[in-house]
Amino acid sequence: MRLGGRLAAAIEVLSDMEKRHRPAADALKDWGLSHRFAGAGDRAAIGNIVYDALRRRRSAAWQLDEESPRAAAFGALLLEWGETADSLDRTLDGDRFAPERLSETEKLAIASRKLIDAPDVVRADIPDWCQPHLERSFGEDWVAEAAALAARPPLDLRVNRLQSNRDRVLADISETGAMASAISPNGIRIPPIEGSGRHPNVQVEPAFQKGWFEIQDEGSQIAATLASAKPGMQVLDFCAGAGGKTLALAAEMENRGQIFAYDSDKSRLAPIFDRLKRAETRNVQAVTSLNSLDKLEGELDLVLIDAPCTGSGTWRRRPDAKWRLSTRQLDVRIGEQAAILDNAARFVKPGGRLAYVTCSVFAEENTDQVEAFLQRHPDFACVDQEALWNERLETGKARFSASGIVMSPLTTGTDGFFFAALERRA
């Protein structure tokens, strides 16, 4: 397929998402099933246009002075692919599978509108209602921080130290362009793709099959490192999900001690069993019944809460979620987080530690939750978050406060994450 056909397909997918209110992954999958003639390269290019259009939907609409799937797709090529109105005219000319070329009205809008002159929310590529939340979280840097959340993400890997080391993995996957991560001591990064390219399928690599590494954003890796799990500890991963942080904690503990990986949803926890086997992790017990944890009250050295959240820190990877998110969903998450904190805190022993993590950049889910929790539980206190960072990591600078640490694409080059460590007074 030429660019015109790929662009038309992207517009079709974006239109399907708009009409049926469905996630991008589902719409792209269905398009691929009904267009089996499209090769892997075509599907990757179409997916890139769709995701770029979603990341830059607001600025694309402003650039073309039109809010539609067509404007979003054309805007993606103009804003992210280095195309111009003239180059698109030349490329689409004579392509019978291409969408209708840019109209004179659209060309005039493109020529007369400079993104630097656009309103803040447009340059930030966010819904209006998110502005006060991001302003509160990032202050005068909020537009730049939000814009960084609209960029293409890298592919991050975490080396499993139970089976290998970073130098060995880097040598084994050298053809992928991988390099050591900037902050995580166990991290490897494959840079963001350009144009119609795609990240390598690292899961087919022998090193992955042998359990030498896992796919995990560097921010998530850093959060696991900051949790400070040590060999011999008794640990609870309270919202374990598919087990990404559980595996990271097990490696930190050198397979010694015990980790209880709990999730109330059996389907979310199900992938952990294959992952544990591949990683040769032997100190993890998967748990789906909260009642079975009752005997652990007041007994654990570390309780990690990877709390359900809005996911605003992952907008680079899930840009469609940015436009589906609402204030009501934020309120629901805030209530869930408070209940989970209260429930999980009872398992921490005197002198033990509670680690609270979200993949959100909203203060309401982060510092506000920590401060409210401390009001309800005066037997807990925050550790010195910046000192903890400096103790556990050799480099990097995040946003620090007394109540936690904020990571973001702009400041740390990671997804948006929040981390707070609290200790239970002896």
173-189 pLDDT, tens digit per residue, is: 999 999 999 999 999 99
Q: Is 188 found in the same domain as 311?
A: no
Q: Where a domain ends, among 215, 234, 261?
A: 215
Over range 17-27, report the average pLDDT: 95
User: Has residue 45 been placed in a domain?
Assistant: yes
In angstroms, what CA-CA distances link 241 with 13, 24, 52, 99, 302? 29, 22, 28, 42, 17
Parent domain of 257:
218-424
% of the chain residues with pLDDT over 70: 100
In angstroms, what CA-CA distances link 30 with 88, 92, 108, 237? 27, 25, 35, 35
> Where does 151-292 have alpha helices with state H?
166-172, 206-209, 218-226, 244-252, 266-269, 272-279
Q: Is 382 found in the same domain as 248?
A: yes
Tokens of 323: 């436009």
pLDDT attached to residue 394:
83
Q: Where a domain ends, among 93, 118, 143?
A: 118
pLDDT attached to residue 34:
94
User: CATH number for the domain including 162?
Assistant: 3.30.70.1170
Q: Is 412 found in the same domain as 384?
A: yes
**What is the pLDDT confidence band of residue 426, given thresholds at 50, 70 and 90?**
confident
| 371-387 pLDDT tens trace | 999 999 999 999 999 99
**What is the pLDDT confidence band of residue 124, given thresholds at 50, 70 and 90?**
very high
Q: Is 204 found in the same domain as 255?
A: no
Q: Is 301 annotated as a binding residue?
A: no
User: Has residue 189 been placed in a domain?
Assistant: yes
What is the crossing angle of helices 218-226 and 244-252, to 10°?
A: 50
Q: Residue type for 316, please? A: R
Q: Is 362 found in the same domain as 249?
A: yes
User: Has residue 369 been placed in a domain?
Assistant: yes
Rounded-to-integer distance, Cα 35 and Cα 26, Å: 14
Tokens of 338: 């408070």
Q: Is 98 found in the same domain as 173?
A: no
- Average model confidence (pLDDT) for the chain? 96
Give the chain's domain count. 3
User: Has residue 150 been placed in a domain?
Assistant: no
pLDDT attached to residue 363:
98
| 73-88 pLDDT tens trace | 999 999 999 999 999 9
Q: Is 128 annotated as a binding residue?
A: no
Predicted TM-score (pTM) above 0.85: yes
User: Has residue 130 been placed in a domain?
Assistant: no
List, as one string, the DSSP characters of 383-401.
--HHHHHHHH-SS---EEE
Q: Is 302 found in the same domain as 417?
A: yes
User: Has residue 69 been placed in a domain?
Assistant: yes
Q: Is 11 found in the same domain as 72?
A: yes
pLDDT attached to residue 391:
96
Q: Around Cβ 128, how many Cβ atoms within 10 Å?
A: 9
Over range 233-257, report the average pLDDT: 97
Q: Where a domain ends, among 172, 196, 215?
A: 215
Closest by CA to 196, choosing from 40, 333, 312, 58, is 40
Residue 49 has pLDDT above 80, yes or no: yes
pLDDT attached to residue 336:
98
For residue 152, the 8-state DSSP code is: P
pLDDT attached to residue 298:
96
Q: Is 305 helix (H, G, I), strand (E, B) or coil?
A: strand
Q: Is 233 found in the same domain as 208?
A: no
The CA radius of gyration of the chain, in Å to the nearest whole number, is 23
Scan for tokens 């696991």, then name that residue. 224
Q: Is 257 found in the same domain as 201?
A: no
Residues with catalytic function: 359
